[in-house]
Chain A
Amino acid sequence: MRAKLAIALVLLVGTVSGASAAQPILIKNANILTVSHGRIENGAILIRDGKIAAVGLTVDAPSDAQVIDAGGQWVMPGIIDPHSHINADATNEGAISVSSMTRTCEVINPESIALYRELAGGVTTADIIHGSANPIGGQDCVLKFRWGKTAKELMFEGAKPGLKFALGENPKRAGTPSGYGQTTTPLRYPGSRMGVEDVIRQAFTEARQYQKDWDEYKRKGAAVAPRRDVKLEPLAEVLRGERYAYVHGYRADELLMTLKLADEFGFKIRFFIHGLEAYKIANEIAAHGAGVSTFSDWWGYKVEAWDAIPYNAAILAKKGVLVSLNSDDAELARHLNQEAAKLLKYGNFTDDEALATITLNPAKQLGIDQRVGSIEVGKDADLAIFDQHPLSNYAKVSKVFIDGQVYFDREQDLKQREAKAKEIQELKDKERKAAERRPPAAEKAAPQTTTPPTGRKKRPPESTEEVIR
Chain B
Amino acid sequence: MTRRICLLLSAFCLLPSAFAAEKAVAKKQVATDQPLILRGATVHTVSGKDLPNTSVLIKNGKIEALGQTLRVAGAREIDVRGLHVYPGLINAATTIGLTEISAVRETSDTSDLGDYNPQLRAYSVINPASEHIPVVRANGITTVLSSPSGGVISGQAALINLAGWTIDEMAVRKSVGMVIRFPSMTQRFGRGGGIELLMMMQEGRTGGFSEAQRTYARRVAELREWLDKARHYAQARAAETPDVKRDLKLEALVPLVKGEQPALMTVSTARDIRNAVEFADKEKIKVVLIDPDDAWKEAELLKKKDIPVILGPTLSLPRNEDDPYDLPYSQPAMLYKAGVKFAISTGGVQFARNLPYQAAQAAAFGLPKDEALKAVTLYPAQIFGVKELGSIEPGKTANLIVTDGDPLESRTQVKRLIINGREVSTDNKHKQLYEKYIARP
Within 8 Å CB of B278, what residues of A? 466
1/0 per residue, CB under 8 A from B, across A123-153: the answer is 0000000000000000000000000000000
With an 8 A cutoff between CB atoms, is B336 at the interface?
Answer: no
1/0 per residue, CB under 8 A from B, across A325-338: the answer is 00000110011001
* 18 additional A-B residue pairs with CB within 8 Å, beyond A391-B411, A467-B185: A120-B325, A179-B105, A297-B353, A300-B100, A306-B12, A335-B315, A338-B361, A345-B411, A345-B412, A394-B360, A395-B364, A413-B325, A452-B217, A453-B218, A459-B217, A466-B217, A466-B278, A469-B275
In this complex, the interface size class of chain B, counting residues with CB under 8 Å from chain A, is 35 or more
Chain A residues numbered 422-469 whose CB sits less than 8 Å from any CB in chain B: 424, 446, 449, 452-454, 456, 459, 463-464, 466-469
Most buried by A among B102, B356, B360, B410: B410
A residues apposed to B, CB below 8 Å: 2, 5, 113, 116-117, 120, 179-181, 251, 279-280, 282-283, 297-303, 305-307, 309-311, 314-315, 318, 330-331, 334-335, 338, 341-342, 344-345, 347, 391-396, 413, 417, 420, 424, 446, 449, 452-454, 456, 459, 463-464, 466-469
Q: Which residue of A lies closest to B412 (CB)?
A: A345
B residues apposed to A, CB below 8 Å: 5, 8-9, 12-14, 100-105, 131-132, 135, 185, 194-195, 198, 210-211, 213-214, 216-218, 220-222, 271, 274-275, 278, 315-318, 321-322, 324-326, 329, 349-351, 353-354, 356-357, 360-361, 363-365, 369, 408-413, 429-431, 433-434, 437-438, 440
Bound Cα distance A201, B217 (Å): 57
Closest chain-B Cβ to A129's Cβ sits at a distance in Å of: 20
Most buried by A among B214, B271, B275, B318: B214
Bound Cα distance A330, B217 (Å): 35
Closest chain-B Cβ to A41's Cβ sits at a distance in Å of: 19
User: Interface SS of chain B: helix, strand, loop or mixed?
Assistant: helix
Closest chain-B Cβ to A185's Cβ sits at a distance in Å of: 14
Bound Cα distance A345, B139 (Å): 10
Bound Cα distance A394, B364 (Å): 4
Q: Which residue of A lies closest to B435 (CB)?
A: A311
Quick check: B350 and A301 within 8 Å, CB to CB?
A: yes
Quick check: A463 and B324 within 8 Å, CB to CB?
A: no
Q: Which residue of B lies closest to A427 (CB)?
A: B322
15 contacts between A and B (CB under 8 A): A117-B318, A120-B326, A181-B198, A280-B440, A300-B101, A306-B5, A311-B438, A314-B438, A330-B317, A335-B361, A338-B410, A341-B410, A394-B408, A413-B324, A454-B218
Quick check: B354 and A297 within 8 Å, CB to CB?
A: yes
Quick check: B410 and A302 within 8 Å, CB to CB?
A: no
Asked if A393 meets B198 with Cβ closer than 8 Å, knowing A279-B437, A303-B101, A469-B274, the reply is: no
Quick check: B350 and A300 within 8 Å, CB to CB?
A: yes
Quick check: B369 and A394 within 8 Å, CB to CB?
A: yes
Quick check: B317 and A341 within 8 Å, CB to CB?
A: no
Within 8 Å CB of B410, what residues of A? 338, 341-342, 344-345, 391, 393
Closest chain-B Cβ to A183's Cβ sits at a distance in Å of: 11
Bound Cα distance A282, B105 (Å): 32
Within 8 Å CB of A251, what residues of B? 12
Closest chain-A Cβ to B356's Cβ sits at a distance in Å of: 8
Quick check: B102 and A301 within 8 Å, CB to CB?
A: yes
Closest chain-B Cβ to A415's Cβ sits at a distance in Å of: 12
Most buried by B among A282, A338, A464: A338
Bound Cα distance A452, B185 (Å): 15
Asked if A449 meets B103 with Cβ closer than 8 Å, knowing A120-B325, A180-B198, A392-B409, the reply is: no
Quick check: A331 and B316 within 8 Å, CB to CB?
A: yes
Within 8 Å CB of B326, what residues of A? 120, 396
Quick one: which of B221, B275, B322 contacts A459, CB cutoff 8 A?
Answer: B221
Bound Cα distance A392, B434 (Å): 25
Asked if A424 meets B322 with Cβ closer than 8 Å, knowing A393-B360, A469-B271, the reply is: yes
Bound Cα distance A2, B103 (Å): 34
Quick check: B13 and A306 within 8 Å, CB to CB?
A: yes
Within 8 Å CB of A307, what residues of B? 12-14, 433
Bound Cα distance A300, B324 (Å): 32
Quick check: A449 and B211 within 8 Å, CB to CB?
A: yes
Asked if A345 meets B13 with Cβ closer than 8 Å, knowing A120-B325, A417-B324, the reply is: no
